[in-house]
Structure 1
Amino acid sequence: MNKEVLRSLFLEKRQTLTNQEFKRRNDLLLVNNLNFLESHQRAVHCHIFLPILKFKEPNTWPLFEHLQKSSNHEAYVSKTLFKQKQLEHFHVTKNTELKESKYGIPEPLNGEAIHPEKLDIVFVPLICCDKQGNRVGYGAGLYDRFLQEVRQDCLKIGLGITSKLDNIDYTTELDIPLDYYISHLGIDDFR
């Protein structure tokens, strides 16, 4: 199946999850993320996306709060610049104010802007991915452009609450594959 079909199918599938199942999957996702961070202690600078919960995106708020409280990690969040088709990245501290954009995306209002080369980990939003680490995002290419700017050793980790597909058709050279996929089912290493 091509990306547009998969995007539509999986977005609809996510919406059919009961609140109880959505919570269960997110609880397991958090446990798997914390286990991953524990086993990758050299990864200090962690970029995370904040969810639009009405679309039943993976609930990254508990992971974000963990990163903020951790003495071993620093948290970073982006602001979406839709006209420029890019993301601007900010170091998030206890003094950083967050506000939902007109699209419902929680974004920083203030904070220190950083260059993506500083990051050790990028937690990547996705709708689904395949067993090779190819992902289907929301179609704007924002994260593909962002991931071209990180260091080569920066870990690209997809977060999801769906199982992997066998393969995604119609990937291009602009698509940047994931290094890992963390879901409620476990941690998949694509390296």
Structure 2
Amino acid sequence: MSVKHALLALLARGESNTYQLRKDFLETTGQSWPLNIGQVYSTLQRLERDGLVSRGEKQPSQDGNSETEPFSLTEDGREELLKWWFTPVDREKPARSELVMKLALAASTPGVDVAKIVQTQRRNTMNALRDFTRLKVSATSSPAELPWQLVIENHIFMAEAELRWLDQIEGLVAAHQNGAAANAVSTTDTTALIERLSEVKK
């Protein structure tokens, strides 16, 4: 996910400071993606360096105990954001998945029970799917909750897809194990036949 473009999108609503941007980001995404204040600040610094945002004069914070610096979009920032809105997400470079990597390594490592790993992950994903579904049911039709609902729908579809994928993996593993067992039996039978033929020749 691009923190850079997320901050540009939030600033398109109006000028804002570091703490408010983080708060708005977490509210918009339903806190699905952690974002610490250091990430926000360092990203804003890079955006300012690249001429995509500008920094305003320091202002007293709401509690009056400190000062904040408001940031706003520049024209270059608006152009960059517009370009991002209509640039498709590149699916030719899929995000790295720890689960895919784990199962690929397990399948190629002798002695690892891949089926058990799949079953353990399936239980976890099903629990997550139930939680996401409960959140969806509790949502209201308020326009303010639309961004959060979009995030929840994505989580639900991703969990459902992962469960289907795990079913496929379980079938592939079982087929591979059955094939390996059949091959081992075939090899044993062939070896025994060769030995018997050798005895006949003697």
TM-score class, shorter = under 0.3
Which one has a larger percent helix, Structure 1 or Structure 2? 2
Which one has a larger percent strand, Structure 1 or Structure 2? 1
Structure showing greater radius of gyration is: 2
TM (normalized to structure 1)?
Answer: 0.26
Which one has more relative contact order, counting CA pairs under 8 Å at least 6 apart? 1
TM (normalized to structure 2)?
Answer: 0.25
